[in-house]
Amino acid sequence: MWPLAALLLLAPSSGHAVALEKPTLSLRPPWTTIFKGERVTLRCDGYHPLVVELRPISTLWYLGHLLLPSHGRSIEVQAPGVYRCQTRGAPVSDPVHLSVSNDWLILQVPYAAVFEGEPLVLRCRGWYDKAVYRLHYYRDGRALRYFSSGANYSVPQARAGDSGRYQCSGTMRLPVESAPMFSAPVAVTVQELFAAPVLRAGRAGAGGAVLRCETRLHPRRRAVPLQFAFYKHSRVVRRFDWAAEYRVPEAEAGELEAHWCEAATASRSVRKRSAWPQLPGRGPPGDPAATAQGPKAEPLAPGNQPLSFRKSLPPTSAPSVTSAPNATSAGPRAPAVRAPGAAPAACAPQTPLDPATGALKPEVDLLLREIRLLRDLLSRVVLGMRGPQASPEPGAAPGTPEAPWAESVETSAAGS
């Protein structure tokens, strides 16, 4: 448990108890990695009110969980570890990690957190400031930048994608130029300045509506001012302004789902847009609870028939076929449709007779007629090739023409 520096904290004007913010711990030079034997200065800046003290101590310093003997606002250190400080009556500060290296090459990164839109500067430094040549910077094992001699790598406006493990390599003259040497990798994280905004809708008087663009700044950057803009589809309905609310005209109150907003810093270095609005009584887009509130479709249509989303075809009556000039001209027949839930019909023996009348079925009768016509046609063709024949006597019953192959069989039998 961290020791307390005061029992009671009084505001100078009212005498009421107030809550103090944690102090700010700074580092000079502003790098978290130093060479062995070097020293850096830590400074603790915080509010110092009138207090009733147990002991006259202004600042407490910690290395890990160890309380250091110094009580000034700044101290010089050279040991590696995690440093914190605490002013009178305030919480403990955020930590500063100090690393000490004995390598020829180190990569120095800022001690303070870097937020979106802020500059990020990395420094590749040789042993006790020896010149570095053929300098390369890397992020997550991929080369970023090359310099012929020592130079810092900087990103003017950092983004979340700039986070990663950085490393540098280069050569030094000791006294001749050495082989490439690599620094130890250092993790760098770009902090989120503010969360993506959420657009919420509320009702206003006279049938209108009010849209509010809500976001949340990081606790360490709560003083950063933000501006807001509102859009309908891709059209700007209100340009960037300090107000986070927009009154929708009454004529467009029924189209709230088409609006969205954007939050940005004054310099536009960081801009983030919202999703579609959250309407009163509905959850966020894609929320299962919001989807469940909508009306549900009935599983069955009237008549207990399954609903179908296909467009129904117009009813047509199929004409009954009585005769056709050619059996091959008939189109394909539609397969019989079995009713849902009905048992498949048993395979009954096929019969050419109509069970209702006892006569031949129309399609069977038609097929027989076509066969007779085809046989007569073939007979006439064969008889025409052999020559004219005597026509039958008047009054004689028309006989069936004999097949030509039957006569040839009889002739060959007589000759034998």
Question: So what's the pLDDT on residue 145?
Answer: 94
CA distances in angstroms from 44 to 53, 59, 71, 100, 366, listed in the order given: 19, 8, 10, 21, 110
pLDDT tens digits, 272-323: 999 877 665 555 444 433 333 333 333 333 344 443 333 344 444 444 433 3
Which letter does DSSP use for residue 298 in this model?
P
Amino acid type, 276: W
Question: So what's the pLDDT on residue 279?
Answer: 62
Pair type for strands 186-188 and 153-155: unpaired
Angle (nearest 5°) at CA 281 between 280 and 284: 80
Question: So what's the pLDDT on residue 380?
Answer: 82
Cα separation, 279 vs 248, whole angstroms: 13
CA distances in angstroms from 170 to 85, 123, 124, 136, 371, listed in the order given: 37, 12, 9, 6, 99
pTM over 0.75: no
Cα separation, 227 vs 222, whole angstroms: 14
Question: So what's the pLDDT on residue 311?
Answer: 39
Q: Which candidate, 187, 223, 192, 186, places its Cα nearest to that of 115?
A: 192
Helix 362-386 and helix 404-415: axis angle, to 10°?
50
Cα separation, 224 vs 218, whole angstroms: 9
Cα separation, 25 vs 42, whole angstroms: 7
The dihedrals phi and psi of 327, each to the nearest 5 degrees, come to -70, -25
Pick out the chain residues at pLDDT < 70. 1-19, 47-57, 205-207, 278-361, 386-416
Question: So what's the pLDDT on residue 308?
Answer: 39
Cα separation, 385 vs 8, whole angstroms: 134
Residue 200 near residue 244 (C-beta atoms within 8 A): no
3-class DSSP state for residue 242? coil
CA distances in angstroms from 258 to 130, 201, 275, 292, listed in the order given: 60, 12, 10, 22
Residue 230 near residue 213 (C-beta atoms within 8 A): yes
Angle (nearest 5°) at CA 133 between 128 and 138: 95
Cα-Cα-Cα-Cα dihedral sign, residues 219, 221, 222, 228: negative
Please count the CA atoms within 13 angstroms of the CA of 60 that sit on its side-chain side: 22
